[in-house]
């Protein structure tokens, strides 16, 4: 099935060593240069050496990375207020 114009990128299916499929947004999959090279027309990438538990953690990390980049970009653009207040008193309360 071809992507409809304006519908956005199609998700990518990552298949673990156990055969479990993880559907992820293309932006998440493209964070990996290896997966970027492996994506074919079918949008299905087999990862026979990666177990499901590890793949799930890698996907979680990639999603968090994208979220933090979006927050940082918004902060730079002035769209988000970032609180930089730090407690510099000594001894610091966490050291006591």
Q: Tens of pLDDT along 40-50?
A: 767 899 999 99
Query: DSSP class of residue 93?
Result: G
Domain boundaries, the chain: 12-77
Strand-pair partners of 45: 14
Give pLDDT, residue 91. 61
Q: Is the pLDDT at 58 greater than 70, yes or no?
A: yes
Instruction: Give pTM, 2 decimals.
Output: 0.66
The Cα 7–Cα 52 span in angstroms is 29
Q: Give the domain 12-77 fold.
A: Potassium Channel Kv1.1; Chain A (3.30.710)
Which secondary-structure segment (H or E) carries 22? Answer: strand 21-24
């Amino acid at each position: 099935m071809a992507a409809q114009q304006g519908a956005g990128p199609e998700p990518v299916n990552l298949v673990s060593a156990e055969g479990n499929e993880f559907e992820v947004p293309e932006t998440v999959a493209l964070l990996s240069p290896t997966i970027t090279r492996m994506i074919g027309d079918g949008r299905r990438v087999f990862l026979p050496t990666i177990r499901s538990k590890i793949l799930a953690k890698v996907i979680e990390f990639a999603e968090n990375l994208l979220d933090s980049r979006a927050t940082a970009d918004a902060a730079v653009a002035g769209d988000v207020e970032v609180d930089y207040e730090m407690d510099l008193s000594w001894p610091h309360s966490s050291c006591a």
